[in-house]
Chains A and B, each alone.
Chain A
């Protein structure tokens, strides 16, 4: 995987640490259809820093410029659009990839934060929020709780995934960030909680904020490991 645009960047960008599970091959043959290269060069190194890996076990995490991540993700979506043609299939694929990332990423989150099990969905909401802080360097706000306390929204003022993105008209049904609902679903499932997750607002579709709705479905009682229930 090479990024010509970043060839002269001084910061140490570690490509192999970016989460691109099972998709590396596709990323190799990529054109950035979603953004112009001029913009990229001009705005280099202004984005937030995404925390993608640790060296050793020290707290000073090895960080990678979020734009590298943004571009990798953009190229992934672009490639999927080429490979599938049907936008609905792309949405589905993104969700699936997110799921596969989530079931692994949760271990990283737990190992890093040492957090305990959630016995209330409000705990879960806060932990998801801190997950976004750790992995994407953003803190979405938690809003719109349902009266039953089993549904909430995460509102993103900024979203590193969509930093340079303008959605073409013919892709209006594309859920560009659909990897995120997948990640949440996968991660929660590994800690024995089934959630449903979808976008209700999207800045790419001219909404004011990006709003991700998260709904508690059930606890996966059978899957709770012995000595934990």
Chain B
């Protein structure tokens, strides 16, 4: 039973709140000898595994540490280029740490605004009159549940496919939004929600649902 995250998108399509809940952290550290037996690529300012999946290191994972030193972009802190470094035998054996790429806030904002037209298109593509937009989007590893209020705010939850009761949970999150965001006099409508009370209450709600199911909230 895992809920991965909660997103709130404003009437105009901007991401006003996101909360990563229980995203499992994946980190793999391994020592390599020359020549390196996995293919690395530099894309989107990250060094990504492109081929050669082994020992828990999967295609798509991102290189984060080299010999225990953090990297930024394709360079070590001292400015050495990592991809060049990995071509030279004298640098081996070398310890590389990989982890799953974390979404940056910008990427989240981008994806949230991407969902907005998809939702609208879905309602227009519908063969039936007066169809809603996307309410559930299913993939093999997660389900995205979306609930749009009459005022046009979208609440979204990303959860494990087997997690039940998410539609009810969305309404509970709406309750919390109405209580702790809108009744906060210092919260301006349509602006990102930075209300501690809202976050703590949301956190509690999600934990309760994960532990003891939706019937207890």
Contact = CB atoms under 8 A, between A and B. Distances in A.
Size class of B's contact patch?
20 to 34
Counting chain B CB atoms within 10 Å of each CB, which of A53, A114, A225 scores highest? Answer: A225
B149 interface: yes
Contact of A108 (B11, B123, B150, B182): B182
Contacts of B178: 107-108, 110-112
Given A53-B183, A111-B175, A112-B178, A226 B150 contact: no
A227 B132 contact: yes
B98 interface: no
A167 interface: no
A54 interface: yes
A101 B122 CA distance: 33
A229 interface: yes
Interface in A60-112: 103-108, 110-112
Interface in B97-139: 119-120, 122-124, 130-133
B148 A114 contact: no
B174 interface: yes
Nearest to A17: B183
B152 interface: yes
A103 B217 CA distance: 27
B171 interface: yes
A103 B119 CA distance: 24
A84 B132 CA distance: 47
Contacts of B58: none
Contacts of B183: 17, 19, 53, 104, 108
B151 A191 contact: yes
B177 interface: yes
A104 B181 CA distance: 9
A228 B146 CA distance: 14
B87 interface: no
B172 interface: yes
A22 interface: yes
A13 B148 CA distance: 34
Contact of A54 (B133, B153, B174, B179): B179
Contacts of A165: none
B151 A57 contact: no
A228 B148 contact: yes
Contacts of B123: 226-227
Given A57-B217, A107-B177, A228 B150 contact: yes
Which are the 7 A-B pairs with shortest beta-carbon distances?
A227-B133, A225-B152, A226-B120, A227-B123, A104-B182, A108-B178, A111-B178
10 contacts: A107-B177, A107-B182, A108-B179, A110-B149, A111-B177, A191-B150, A224-B152, A225-B152, A227-B148, A229-B130
Interface of A: 17, 19-22, 24, 53-54, 57, 103-108, 110-112, 114, 116-117, 190-191, 223-229
Given A110-B149, A226-B119, 11 more contacts: A57-B217, A104-B183, A105-B182, A106-B151, A107-B178, A108-B178, A108-B183, A111-B177, A111-B178, A224-B152, A227-B148
